Amino acid sequence: MGRVVVTGGAGFLGSHLCEQLLARGDQVVCIDNLITGSQSNVEHLVSDPGFTYVEHDVSTHTWVEGDVDAVLHFASPASPKDYLEWPIQTLKVGSLGTHNTLGLAKDKGARYFLASTSEVYGDPEEHPQSETYWGHVNPVGPRGVYDEAKRFAEAMTMAYHRYHGLDVRIVRIFNTYGPRMRPADGRVVSNFIVQALEGKPLTIYGDGSQSRSFCYIDDEVRGLLALLDSDHVGPVNIGNTNEFTMRELADVVLEVTGSRSSLITEPLPVDDPTQRKPDITLARSVLGWEPQVQLREGIERTAAYFRQVLGR
């Protein structure tokens, strides 16, 4: 049990992480600038005496009073729609924000945990992607703002580890979904479910043959905590290995919601990866972790959440 700083703690992933840390007895200092996060995500936590919320942009100087045992850097726009809308902030939080929070961890003698991403693999030529793959990223394309910021963040984290001896962990998070995604977040799972519930056409980008592997939030957070508590520096992939095309995903969403929405096609975003699936051999062997929630069950739980949010 300790005192943990979570940047981006009012976001989708961050808020679930804060919740699970509190549940196991840790104290949590949640920092968020609310660009894409929302106070409503942590409203249910503010009455917990172990929880502190601070509105702050970690791309600027960042300081926390008192002892800190771990700094978990989750702040960043994470949906392509968001990081295209906030390109400079995305680059800053991945670079300056990582530097500032590494400095905080170093000063406090705390463990540092970096939320990296499968986007460091870009449009991968190796499939599935294992941690040893160096990736295939277009640095000057629109997605480069997120991909390169996270690649820089990994390099910076390893430099602090090697040069300063900082105790670090790096996770590469693959597509994660579940309650508390924003309805207008722009990602495929939230888009399809909201469209299905509202009886609007499901927007398939390109021909819908591109693939992703979707991990339910509870599985993802369990994996993150297992890595945080382990002795393994990483990077470690945490994601689900069940791979679906976007057309297959649309079918599952229509079936689960009982919607009769049609499918329409829209242009494929620039540099949209054609395939993505984690190799989780490392997570299985060093963390004893693997996902448990199947896509259909996860979509059912997520659709129940969106029904409530949309009042349907």
Q: Which residues bind ligand UDP (CB under 6 A)?
A: 79-80, 175, 187-188, 191, 203-205, 210, 212, 246, 268-269, 272
Q: How far apart are CA 223 and CA 229, in angstroms?
A: 10
As measured in angstroms, the least distance from the Cβ of 226 to ligand UDP is 23
Answer positive or negative: Cα dihedral of 233, 60, 51, 238. Answer: negative
Distance CA 188, CA 184 (A): 10
Q: Which of 53, 112, 121, 146 is catalytic?
A: 146
| 83 catalytically annotated | no
| Beta bridge partners of residue 114, listed in sequence order | 73, 170
Residue 129, SS3? Answer: strand
Task: Please report how close the Cβ of residue 77 comes to ligand UDP at its closest, in angstroms.
Answer: 11
Choose between 52 and 118: whose C-beta lies nearer to ligand UDP: 118
Rounded to a whole number of angstroms, the minimum distance from the CB of residue 310 to ligand UDP is 16
- Nearer to ligand UDP (CB atom), residue 27 or residue 79: 79
CB of 124 to ligand UDP, least distance (A): 12
Helix (H) or strand (E) holding 150: helix 144-164
* 172: Cβ contacts below 8 Å, ≥ 6 apart: 116, 117, 118, 120, 121, 131, 234, 235, 236, 237, 238, 239, 278
**69 vs 272, beta carbon nearer ligand UDP:** 272
| Tokens (6 digits) for 213 | 């592997």
Q: Name the DSSP letter for residue 76.
A: S
183 or 269: CB nearest ligand UDP: 269
Which residues carry out catalysis?
146
